[in-house]
Structure 1
Amino acid sequence: MDERLLVERLKEGDESAFRIIVDTWQNMVYNTVLGIVQQAEDAEDITQDVFVQVYQSIHSFKGDAKFSTWLYRIAVTKSLDHERKKKRKKRFGFIRSLFGEDNEVVIHPPDFNHPGVALDKKEKAAALFHAINLLPENQRIAFVLNKVEGLSYQEVSDVMETSVSSVESLLHRAKSNLRKHLEEEK
């Protein structure tokens, strides 16, 4: 079914259109979110939040960009908000440990499982995604959207609301930084 027709039907309150939207784009949203937050449980929760926001905010969708671009923006924004909250909690926990309320803060790296990664390559994928997580935010988003999700430079620039040349630059720097991080871990 045509994107525009689905959006119009959802704006009119058609719940079957919402079900079609969720069925059509839930894997894309989940994989995008998982590429950023790297925790399956968190990715599931954020994916659900993305679709709740789509349902609640559909009237703000003007159609200037493709619906999928708007959806990627929501997914990226929700993922980054989640990461920022998580960092604030870690800092708070560390500060509390300095004052003796906790004996110590121990952060174990999570087991990383992405549906697109074969079992025999999990260790290499975990190292790669750890290195991706060390990238500056804009480089990380550009890299995940382009290399993990397969979006074109133009689509990434639409999602990130920046120029194609900026995306090219971000990807170049991301690859360079990834090489450096991965060589340091050897």
Structure 2
Amino acid sequence: MINQTHFEKLYHEYRILVFNVALNYLQNLEDAEEVTQDVFVKVYYSLENFNQKSSYKTWIYRITINQCLDFIKKKNSQKRFFIFGKKSQNEQEYLNTATFEHPGILMENKEDAAILFEVINSLTENQKTAFLLSKLDGLSNPEIAEIMQLSISSVESLIFRAKGALQEKLAEKFKNYRKK
């Protein structure tokens, strides 16, 4: 039996964290809100089976990241189907795939931030996850290792490779950007 009070306490304690992680991953307010709802539906139905091998925070982080990855895969498959004739209610969604709507970014920095997140989104899933958890959420490598179920040295390696890839890709992007 699910303890409603316990669920509500978890919801109030972690809803902002879940929303921020989703927003960092998806860079779109509506998508982040949708994923946040999906995460808490999953938490609600999985709560009675939570085995407490990790903290609630780690468990909820893991669910959030998996929901974000699933959401991205679903959205990408919808875009591919669109090419073959699937119509969308919102064609702008397909025409403008790299929109950037992060509310924490000042208007004059939106273009640079859009380029940065475009490059972050080109990282492998594990590099992107480790990088976002480290740099945007400020988590320690041991915390990231627990969330991602990897060794600390693997997390360090992922972050190191992510930084290298970002430096290389951003240098190229801004070199091309300045030529315009």
Does the pair score TM above 0.5? yes
The 10-residue stretch of structure 1 (29-38 or 167-176) with the greater mean CA deviation from structure 2: 29-38
Pick aligned residue for 1:108 from 64, 84, 96: 96
1:89-168 equivalences under 5 Å are 89-96=78-85, 107-168=95-156
Whether the aligned pair in 2 keeps the contact of 1:34 and 1:114 (CA below 8 Å) is yes
Q: Offset of 1:90 from its aligned partner?
A: 1.7
Q: Offset of 1:96 from its aligned partner?
A: 4.1
Amino acid at match of 1:159: I
**TM-score normalized by structure 1?**
0.83
Runs of 4+, deviation exceeding 4 Å = none
Amino acid at match of 2:40: F
The 10-residue stretch of structure 1 (121-130 or 77-86) with the greater mean CA deviation from structure 2: 121-130
Whether the aligned pair in 2 keeps the contact of 1:73 and 1:159 (CA below 8 Å) is yes
Q: Offset of 1:45 from its aligned partner?
A: 0.5
Pick aligned residue for 2:33 from 7, 27, 44: 44
RMSD (CA atoms): 1.9
The aligned residue for residue 178 of structure 1 is: 166
Give the SS at the match of 2:45.
helix
In the alignment of these two chains, the number of paired residues is 168
Whether the aligned pair in 2 keeps the contact of 1:39 and 1:110 (CA below 8 Å) is no
The aligned residue for residue 89 of structure 2 is: none
The aligned residue for residue 101 of structure 1 is: none
The aligned residue for residue 49 of structure 2 is: 60
After superposition, the C-alpha distances for 1:123-163 in whole angstroms (9 at most, x for unaligned) are 22221111111111110111111111111101111111000
Cα distance change of structure 1 residues 109 and 184 upon mapping to structure 2, 3 Å threshold: farther
Give the SS at the match of 1:62.
coil
**TM-score normalized by structure 2?**
0.85
Distance of 1:108 and 1:85 partners within structure 2: 16
User: Which structure 1 residue ranges, 5 or more long, are not aligned?
Assistant: 1-11, 98-105
The aligned residue for residue 178 of structure 2 is: none
The aligned residue for residue 69 of structure 1 is: 58
Q: Offset of 1:110 from its aligned partner?
A: 4.1
Whether the aligned pair in 1 keeps the contact of 2:126 and 2:158 (CA below 8 Å) is yes
Whether the aligned pair in 1 keeps the contact of 2:22 and 2:32 (CA below 8 Å) is yes
User: Which structure 2 residue ranges, 5 or more long, are not aligned?
Assistant: 87-93, 175-180
The 10-residue stretch of structure 1 (14-23 or 148-157) with the greater mean CA deviation from structure 2: 14-23
